[in-house]
């Protein structure tokens, strides 16, 4: 029983580490133009480094027909876009001040982050 309890505690620790503490690798964008694939519940790439104070052009390639994938929201920038299927969804963001900017679907199941530096 002790083993089971220790196992359970380790499992909880693993959940906390994997989903909350882990700092994901960031994709560096060269020219502030990034194509993001929307599929199977995730944005790929989901963590993107961009240059600050320069316009950012994101192209969303939506492959997932689930309605959840339909809208992408940039809450801090008050920008949102309904994504059509395919790669024709361009979102232009104004030059960003240095900082972190989230983007997610309406239900926050799809999540991503832009880091402007």
Site residues, another protein (CB under 8 A): 1, 4-5, 8, 11-12, 15-16, 18-20, 22, 24, 39-42, 44, 46, 65-68, 71, 73, 75, 78, 80-82, 84-85, 88, 106-111
Give the span between the Cα atoms of 85 and 63, in whole angstroms.
6
Helix (H) or strand (E) holding 13: helix 2-16
Which CB atom, from 108 or from 117, has the smaller least distance to another protein? 108
Which CB atom, from 60 or from 110, has the smaller least distance to another protein? 110
Give the span between the Cα atoms of 46 and 104, in whole angstroms.
10
Q: Which two tokens stand for residue 30?
A: 């060269």
For the CB of residue 94, give the shortest distance to another protein in the complex, in Å.
Answer: 15
For the CB of residue 96, give the shortest distance to another protein in the complex, in Å.
Answer: 19
Cβ neighbour number for residue 92 with a 10 Å cutoff: 10
């Amino acid at each position: 029983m002790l083993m089971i309890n220790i196992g359970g505690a380790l499992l909880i620790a693993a959940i906390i580490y994997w989903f909350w503490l882990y700092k994901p690798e960031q994709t560096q964008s060269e020219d502030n133009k990034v194509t993001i694939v929307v599929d199977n519940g995730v944005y790929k790439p989901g963590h993107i480094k961009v240059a600050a104070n320069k316009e950012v052009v994101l192209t969303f390639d939506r492959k997932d027909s689930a309605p959840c994938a339909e809208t992408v929201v940039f809450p801090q920038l008050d920008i949102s876009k309904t994504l059509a299927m395919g790669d024709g969804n361009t979102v232009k963001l104004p030059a960003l001040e240095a900082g972190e900017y989230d983007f997610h679907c309406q239900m926050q199941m799809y999540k991503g982050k832009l880091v402007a530096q």
